Structure 1
Amino acid sequence: MNTIDFEVDAEGVARVSINVPDRPMNVFVPDLVADLAEVVQRVRQQGGIRGAVITSGKRGGFVAGADLKDFVTAYDRNVTAEMARDSVLQASKILRDLETCGKPVAAAINGVALGGGYELCLACHYRVLVDDPRAVVGLPEVTVGLLPGGGGTQRLPRLIGIERALPLLLEGRHVKPAEALRIGMVDAIVPADQLYATARAWVLANPGACQPWDVKGFRVPGGAGPLAPHAMTTFGVGVAASHGRHSGNYPAPAAILSCVYEGTQLPIDAALRVEVNYFATLLSGPVARNLMRTLFVNKLAAEKGAARPAGIPPKPVCKLGVVGAGMMGSGIAHAAAVAGIEVVLIDVDLAAAEKGKARCTGLLAREVTKGRLTDVSAEEIAARVRATDAFALLDGCDLVVEAVFEQREVKADVIRKAEAVLSPSAVFASNTSTLPITGLASESARPAQFIGIHFFSPVDRMPLVEVIVGKETAPATLAHALDFVRQLRKTPIVVNDSPGFYTSRVFCAYIDEGMAMLAEGIAPALIENAAKQAGMSTGPLAVTDEVSLDLQKRVIDQAVADGLPASSLRQHAQPVIEKFNTLGRLGRKAGKGFYSYPDDSRKRLWTGLSDLYPVQVVQPSVEDVRSRLLCIQALEAARCLEEGVVTSAADADVGAVLGIGFPSWTGGTLSLIETMGLEAFVAECDRLADRHGARFRPSGWLRRRAGANDRFHPRPVQ
């Protein structure tokens, strides 16, 4: 056994210490499954063993669950539900053998126990958890489009009742020790130095232990089935609420509800087979593949530096300059200060800079109110931000990020003033979302050390950072920019220079299509609701209000002034943008835009929209509106890949989901195309082009890829 250390002490208690080699955290790899099967048989059959304690050889962690890299390729390898079921049944049977081995088994949980790790704990007869807030337990499979396949949907409801278990299964929430004890997910919490001894003492004191659901006459706490007192609220209302929340895009929540409902009315062995069947269906489908590949495998790779140039020593930022203390600049300053970086926050005058710092302290105060920070910690973080109007204080900064207005002249002035005092090794970054980095770098005396670092608003909540490489950006500059993003614990994607880069191009395609539909006479509520049903985080009209219509006008005006081609001028949305600027309806900040923002109630679509753009008598279907909004973004992403703006499908998908709220069930823009099938996607775009204009017409490059079924993501090794 190379994943488990096994020893039996003088009193016959087997210590089963999981220690998967070459992994910072234990995960269920095939070798661990095989070794666990061997351990179960030894505990069952060896006469001198009175019981066992399962623990971990990793400091601070028990078992984090399955290795998603083993699961993520199932759909692409054409693994059928039957094939998936057969493979999962093996692991499920091992856990069942463990709990029916005839000897007491306790779990000494020394840290994180999630997914399959917590399912292993559930198969033990007793669970003791270390009293450490970093130690969490839970079943987060729903977040990757799956349900627990090792008994979690059946043992947890039998342990704590359906009413308590279902929210944990449907939300995938991580539960800290005190709550886990209160609701019965664990039997005890103890200090770290008492953990193993407590579990061992229980084993010796309970020689006849067995699971409650293996005792004759067992009933699920609180009842199960259609006659249970909670049945209408947990299942009747739950199904409707799940569909309303997810619009049927995510199959896992519905599968969890059905699995729990069916399984808890059956004996445990039959129930476990029900669970495996549901799990296998989800694993062999595209949504789980999409979620796992983009939000876990590729996201983690980006955070670990997949795009970082090799051979360049790390260079952390110790002192950061931020020029522009508005919402974006103050957000960047706050994120850096939280990461332990000293910040110089500059604006046109001291009052404006102090106002920016006040936003930082406001964010920290909110964290104190929520119990996430102490007053002392908040004060220490705030003290790292120095508000000033003096560019001279940028001396000694390792990196400067400008976050001023999207106007070339303003940015050029900032570049000159900052570089006048920066050290020769310092990097200058622009937070621009649209202006080409190469053009801005022409204002720099050292373009090799110039780069784009595009944050998303609000910075404290948005995880993505788009790093833009100009024509003269040096590899070392890119490496150091990625080091900075990692310091902030955010997720980077790397793109090449282009008007609008990647995320802004895809985002503008989305909001522009919404405005084009409005101008055509499609009902505004239909546009917004179809977007939400598709899984977009916000409708195109609402999100345009958030970013403001005067900004959209400035972006177009700058593109015109720069002599950019017609494709960059957003011509089908430009008349709407111009009209709303003329009306002064600039969005939420003005209190009016596509929506009205009453002081005494929630925002609502402006009733005057129908006067400006009369609604057609015959309206398109929700499906047609959904298709337009999703396909136009995916098509723009494909164009970005074709043009070399984005160079990997992984970055394109991660950027779309984390940066602009593209539906996560799709896996991202390019994953959507693959999920539809390239030929089917091209055919749908041709249909939309015939009806709505040439912007939907696929390029020859995309047609050729479709004809050859040349996918964007690498095919897994069979």
Structure 2
Amino acid sequence: MTTIAFDIDADGIATLTIDVPGQSMNVIGPEFLADLSAAIDRIGSEEAIKGAVICSGKASGFMGGMDLKNMETMLIPAHDGKLDMATLFDRVFVLNALFRRLETCGKPVVCAIEGTCVGGGFELALACHRRIVADNPKVQLGLPEILVGLFPGGGGSQRLPRITGVQTALMYMLQGKLFRPQEALGLKVVDELVPSGNTVAAAKTWLKANPAASVQPWDQKGYRFPGGAGGFNPNFVQTFIGATAMTMKQTQRNLNGPLALLSAVYEGATLPMDRAIRVESKYFAKIMADPQASNMVRTLFVSKQAAERGARRPKDLPKAPTAKLAMLGAGMMGAGVATVSAQAGIDVVLLDRDQAYAEKGKEHARSVLSKRLGKGMTPEKLEETLARITPTTDFAQLEGCDFVIEAVFEDTAIKAEVTKKVEAVLGADTIFGSNTSTLPITGLAKAWSKPENFIGVHFFSPVEKMPLVEIIVGEKTGPEAIAKALDYVAQIKKTPIVVNDSRGFYTSRCFGTYVQEGAELLAEGVGAALIENVGKQLGMPVGPLAVSDEVSIELGYKVMTAAKKELGDAYVDSAADAVMTKMVEMDRLGRKNGKGYYDYPEGGKKALWPGLADSFPLAAVQPSPEVVRERLLYRQLIECARCFAEGVLETPEDGDIGAIFGWGFAPWTGGPFSHMDTVGIATVVATLDRLTAEHGARFAPTEQLRDMAARGATFYGKAAAKEAA
């Protein structure tokens, strides 16, 4: 298998065209490494070659970096408990050594970039002597590795600071922020912009004019870092003081990648390049040796991409894209769904009980899209998108819609009434999706004559920003409904998970435990500030009390009341219920009415309500942060495990994706199932048993967990065994 086509023209310029077979985007794998090594040997040794151009043969772009799907297999040596770090370092250093050979081969090399060039692909570009990029605003360049638990390990952490300065390089690498062409040119990250399709010609023109430009700036005598570097340079020292403090705040010391990056840049900046890249590889090997990176890569990249490409879509069914959507309900959720659908080119009939409400829903779309003017959105495109949304109160206007999403008030009777009115117009052969966040789909489907065409499509607010859609399969939901829902989610470029029906499904049910445990702690007299700070230190976006305010304490109270009504004597009251009830009775409903666990003064910053200590008196002895952290974490873990044991979840991948992208479960873990596998199921069970004895049955481990612990099984091992069978 050849990944690089090698051609030499009459002027002695070699063109290396990268085209990795079987991949939609070029990626770095063993075959590419071997082919690039051979190509570098030819460039350096053949006198007829005066210089080289590296480009891509794929329309998708230049290169997407390392083959993350197979990275662990490539880099991690086989081991029985004790990892051979020397061998790991040698494997990690291969890419660094290869790029170093490229930039010191004695011939000038130009990278001609069309389309996406990120990660290891961009590190290859940085090792070239000139970077020429297509002047197209859709082109993306950069080093986003930090977003999946890694950091640039192919020389990027050393070359980017030497090109654009330490401060700028850290800002981009620590955020995983990408460059657009004009931005990259301004920061001197690239050298030249040319019209699309002309990068290779421009590269050859430069090579003919600069046959001796084969030495990188950092290999030339007298080179200095832009902005300065070294322990005695005030700018350099101030940069690291600020960067370290901000990184600690953002990561709460949970993430390995950012700290390794800071260390690699700090140490590497004081060394010549040959030593600097070895330092980088040392830290990269350390990152690879920890399960955190592989967990994050699997969930945030591999599993996410698989879900978006239809991993859970029923096979052998033809694609069923949505052309015209019936959006029932023009509130915040319905208006958001209408907005993203219209952006995807779908016509939307936005129906509400009142024309003014329906019009307001369309105005929401205008407001959201107007903020993107100048950022890829033009006035013409804005009007074209808005024209796809038709606000109405008339069910007859739903005629011709091929998919329905309902987002009316969370009341079974109201939903049933609307469902029947829609069926009268569209017929039961149309696929009907309900956006309910808690009501069981099987029950709601009774209002549709063909329950096999009824499915749950649970969005998260705000729809425009939240990446996840939870597809809920009722007892009678058929494969065509699943396929239709997943095809729609792909159209609007969201990430789907597929779960089976239950009260609260997966995300709402498990997210609720984080909020409930926060309320339990408050009821026991634990300080609100301690609860909130530990929640954030765990890696959650905000503390459990703050998030309860955001979604509304009143909503939680209503969900609890509805569950009590439906379950009757089977419902188990909790201290968290009493806290919610008391807050609602005091008219402290959350952010929506300006007062909840926090106060929300007009024009001021939110602050914890001082009256909390009066309403929920502080205990004389406060628990340690470690105790609070354990409870907040394990209360979520056990509920996720219950969902798996009960069949609500069918795969750990859906569980991990849904947790991180649905309710912000600590990303550093790779998700609850990755975390339980990493900690060890036996340890998880022992911890849960202790917490059950101390705090009650809500922490009780499932029989499935006990069985897995006894057998030494893991969730991902179980999934792999099921797939193999």
Alignment TM class, shorter chain as reference = over 0.9
Query: Corresponding residue for 2:516?
Result: 512
Change (3 A) 1:565 1:75: farther
User: RMSD of the TM alignment (CA)?
Assistant: 1.6
1:454 aligns with 2:475: no
Query: Corresponding residue for 2:52?
Result: 52
1:617 aligns with 2:616: no
Q: Which amino acid aligns with 2:221?
A: K
* 8 Å CA contact retained: 1:81, 1:283: no
Q: Which amino acid aligns with 1:31?
A: E
Query: Corresponding residue for 1:198?
Result: 202
Query: Corresponding residue for 1:398?
Result: 402
Query: Corresponding residue for 2:662?
Result: 659
- Give the length in aligned residue pairs: 715
Task: Quote the Cα distance in structure 1 between the aligned partners of 2:558 and 2:108.
Answer: 70
Query: Corresponding residue for 2:323?
Result: 318
Equivalent residue of 1:562, what SS? helix
Task: Quote the Cα distance in structure 2 between the aligned partners of 1:666 and 1:271.
Answer: 30
Which of 660, 671, 674 matches 1:671?
A: 674
Query: Corresponding residue for 1:560?
Result: 564
The structural deviation recorded for 1:278 is: 0.5
Q: Where in structure 2 are there 5+ consecutive unaligned residues? A: none
Q: Which amino acid aligns with 2:621?
A: V
Equivalent residue of 1:295, what SS? helix
Equivalent residue of 1:481, what SS? helix
Which of 409, 418, 423 matches 2:422?
A: 418
Query: Corresponding residue for 2:441?
Result: 437
The structural deviation recorded for 1:406 is: 1.2
Q: Which amino acid aligns with 1:281?
A: K
* 8 Å CA contact retained: 1:455, 1:465: yes
Q: Which amino acid aligns with 1:395?
A: E
Query: Corresponding residue for 1:17?
Result: 17
Which of 122, 128, 139 matches 1:124?
A: 128
Query: Corresponding residue for 2:185?
Result: 181
User: How far does the alpha carbon of each residue in 1:272-296 deviate from its partner, in whole angstroms, 9 at most, with x for none?
Assistant: 1101100111112122112111111
* 8 Å CA contact retained: 1:407, 1:558: no
Q: Where in structure 1 are there 5+ consecutive unaligned residues? A: none
Which of 164, 172, 185 matches 1:168?
A: 172
Query: Corresponding residue for 1:631?
Result: 634
Which of 670, 678, 684 matches 1:681?
A: 684
1:467-482 alignment runs, 5 A limit? 467-482=471-486
Query: Corresponding residue for 2:347?
Result: 342
- Which is further off, 35-44 or 77-86? 77-86
- Which is further off, 512-521 or 161-170? 161-170
Q: Which amino acid aligns with 1:154?
A: Q
Q: Which amino acid aligns with 2:627?
A: D
1:265-276 alignment runs, 5 A limit? 265-276=270-281
Q: Which amino acid aligns with 1:47?
A: E
Equivalent residue of 1:333, what SS? helix
1:26 aligns with 2:26: yes
Task: Quote the Cα distance in structure 2 between the aligned partners of 1:115 and 1:75.
Answer: 19
- Which is further off, 65-74 or 506-515? 65-74
Change (3 A) 1:288 1:479: same
Query: Corresponding residue for 1:100?
Result: 104
The structural deviation recorded for 1:60 is: 4.5
Q: Which amino acid aligns with 1:216?
A: K
1:221 aligns with 2:226: yes
Equivalent residue of 1:106, what SS? strand
Task: Quote the Cα distance in structure 2 between the aligned partners of 1:570 and 1:396.
Answer: 47
Change (3 A) 1:538 1:570: farther
Query: Corresponding residue for 2:297?
Result: 292
The structural deviation recorded for 1:510 is: 0.8
Q: Which amino acid aligns with 1:351?
A: A
Query: Corresponding residue for 2:499?
Result: 495
Which of 138, 145, 150 matches 1:134?
A: 138
* 8 Å CA contact retained: 1:293, 1:667: yes
Task: Quote the Cα distance in structure 2 between the aligned partners of 1:360 and 1:192.
Answer: 33
User: How far does the alpha carbon of each residue in 1:370-412 deviate from its partner, in whole angstroms, 9 at most, with x for none?
Assistant: 5331111111111111111111112211111111111111111
Equivalent residue of 1:208, what SS? coil
The structural deviation recorded for 1:695 is: 0.8
Query: Corresponding residue for 1:598?
Result: 601
Query: Corresponding residue for 1:527?
Result: 531
The structural deviation recorded for 1:352 is: 1.6
Query: Corresponding residue for 1:709?
Result: 712
- Which is further off, 522-531 or 547-556? 547-556
Q: What is the TM-score when the length of structure 1 is the normalising length?
A: 0.97
User: How far does the alpha carbon of each residue in 1:133-174 deviate from its partner, in whole angstroms, 9 at most, with x for none?
Assistant: 121211111112112111111111122221221112211111
* 8 Å CA contact retained: 1:17, 1:56: yes
* 8 Å CA contact retained: 1:294, 1:668: yes
The structural deviation recorded for 1:227 is: 1.0
Task: Quote the Cα distance in structure 1 between the aligned partners of 2:300 and 2:234.
Answer: 38
Which of 369, 381, 385 matches 1:381?
A: 385
- Which is further off, 655-664 or 673-682? 673-682
Task: Quote the Cα distance in structure 2 between the aligned partners of 1:119 and 1:67.
Answer: 14
The structural deviation recorded for 1:564 is: 6.0
The structural deviation recorded for 1:443 is: 2.0
* 8 Å CA contact retained: 2:453, 2:481: yes
Equivalent residue of 2:372, what SS? helix
Equivalent residue of 1:602, what SS? coil
- Which is further off, 270-279 or 166-175? 166-175
Change (3 A) 1:565 1:233: farther
Equivalent residue of 2:455, what SS? strand
The structural deviation recorded for 1:570 is: 5.9
* 8 Å CA contact retained: 1:686, 1:698: yes
Task: Quote the Cα distance in structure 2 between the aligned partners of 1:340 and 1:620.
Answer: 54
Task: Quote the Cα distance in structure 1 between the aligned partners of 2:651 and 2:440.
Answer: 20
Q: Which amino acid aligns with 2:590?
A: G
Task: Quote the Cα distance in structure 1 between the aligned partners of 2:390 and 2:414.
Answer: 22
Task: Quote the Cα distance in structure 2 between the aligned partners of 1:413 and 1:305.
Answer: 33
